[in-house]
Amino acid sequence: MMRKIFIVLLASVLLSFELIAQNYDESKVPSYILPDVLESQNKMKIANVKDWESIRRPEILALFEENVYGIMPKKFDNSNFKIKNENKLSMNGKAHLKELEISVSNNNQTVIINLVLFVPTRAKKPAATFLLINNRGKNNTSPTRDTISGFWPAEQVIDAGYAVAAFHVNDAAPDDKNNYRNGVLRLYPEQLKADNGMKAIGAWAWAASRIMDYFEKDKDVDASKVILTGHSRGGKASLWAAAQDTRFAMCVTNCSGNTGAALSRRRFGETVKVINTTFPHWFADNYKKFNDNESALPLDQHMLVSLIAPRPVYVTNASEDLWADPVGTFKSVKEAEKVYELYNVKSGLPQSIPAINMPFVKPPLAYHIREGKHDMTFYDWAQFIKTADLYFNRQ
Ligand code: GTR
């Protein structure tokens, strides 16, 4: 008995030691070779949009499904949208609030995703819309505006003439390794048995697409101008959703780090093993095969950003958030330029990571590293709005 307790204790000490003993020293990053986004698995060079869209893009999507995020189910029996509450004069008359229940059924099970949506009253409608995948407290997206936070600064977005919406990840899949099945996955029980089955992050991305189904029916929302936004784990989901669902016009991935926008092969900050160990309920089981074995991945995260081309992607880091590997994030976005070039969409990103608080906001690939901590702030949103203004010609 004592021996057992000792072994368990030793194992947990070793694991926590490994979790904190991450590399933060640039000179200790081993060299690595990234898979070529423009070379298909059977070694064909991809040199035009047609080959990209018919050969390489579907191949890469399937690789991410199989090895990282799991299958994204496309079918369900039915869905329903219900307005729970409405206030045409919220935010002192500046916005029309709608609180909705989006319910989706399959396999005799129903999941309800709550949506908070503010539409600007004075701006032109249908309105371009920021949709946040909220992975923090629900108070951040309060419909009554009793809490105002930089995580979802609805007033700032409304003042800029955009609609602003949010749903909470826990409605789609509770962010908890013992409970994540209790949401969208009830609709797709087969996913739980498959090594390439989706888990929480896949479910959050799936839910973003169901909100888009609703936007297509709401005359106040311009469904062709939806900017899907996420922070950290929510930013991993925003990238995956925008890669899968081309109806999203633009993607914001804020401090998304490992298995978000940062390169997995670059050994700096969080690693695949650490993320799979701490959050076993986020990715497909197959992803665990790449623990301490990133070089065996048939992909890397620059290929995820590339899947969103030619639509704009705004990527961020924070100076104190080395866990998310700012340099490896910038390098990943920079690599994605190759696919934008196929579309003749010119990226103006600088050669190396911009200085702190020097945002590069010009679409299609926008980037900044903000001074401070792992967070999403009023400052960050102000930059996203600039890129959206430029892209949608609203400045
Ligand atoms: C961390 C995790 C990161 C990031 C972050 C967050 O603990 O290691 O990959 O997702 O949580 O979501 O805030």
- Return the axis-axis angle of helices 233-244 and 200-215, rounded to nearest 10°: 60
pLDDT reported for residue 394 = 81
CB 238 within 8 A of CB 251: yes
User: 336-361, pLDDT tens digit by residue?
Assistant: 999 999 999 999 999 999 999 999 99
User: 194-212, pLDDT tens digit by residue?
Assistant: 999 999 999 999 999 999 9
Distance CA 71, CA 284 (A): 8
pLDDT reported for residue 18 = 57
Long-range contacts of range 92-96, CB-CB < 8 Å, 24 or more positions apart? 93/121, 94/120, 94/121, 94/122, 94/155, 94/158, 94/159, 95/119, 95/120, 95/121, 95/154, 95/158, 96/120, 96/121, 96/220
pTM of the model: 0.95
Cα(360) to centroid(ligand 1), Å: 24
Looking at the CA of residue 275, tell me the nearest atom of ligand 1.
Answer: 8
Does residue 321 have its Cβ closer than 6 Å to ligand 1?
no
Q: For 145, what's the count of Cα atoms within 13 Å in the CB-facing half-sphere?
A: 17
Annotated active-site residue 374? The verdict is: yes
Residue (of 208, 206, 227) closest to 311 by Cα position = 227
User: 266-286, pLDDT tens digit by residue?
Assistant: 999 999 999 999 999 999 999
For the residues 191-195, what does the mean pLDDT come to? 98
Beta bridge partners of 83: 100
Beta bridge partners of 318: 370
Looking at the CA of residue 236, tell me the nearest atom of ligand 1.
Answer: 10
CB 202 within 8 A of CB 240: yes
Neighbours of 87 (CB within 10 A): 14
Q: Hey, what are 202's tokens?
A: 């896949």
Annotated active-site residue 368? The verdict is: no
pLDDT reported for residue 124 = 87
Looking at the CA of residue 234, tell me the nearest atom of ligand 1.
Answer: 12
Q: Say yes or no to pLDDT of 8 above 80.
A: no
> How far are the Cα atoms of 42, 251, 267, 346 from residue 306, in angstroms, in the given order?
19, 12, 21, 14
Distance CA 158, CA 134 (A): 18
Q: φ, ψ for residue 228 (rounded to 5)?
A: -80, 125
Cα(276) to centroid(ligand 1), Å: 11
Contacts of 126 (CB under 8 A, 6+ apart): 218, 219, 220, 221, 222, 223
Q: Say yes or no to pLDDT of 300 above 90.
A: yes
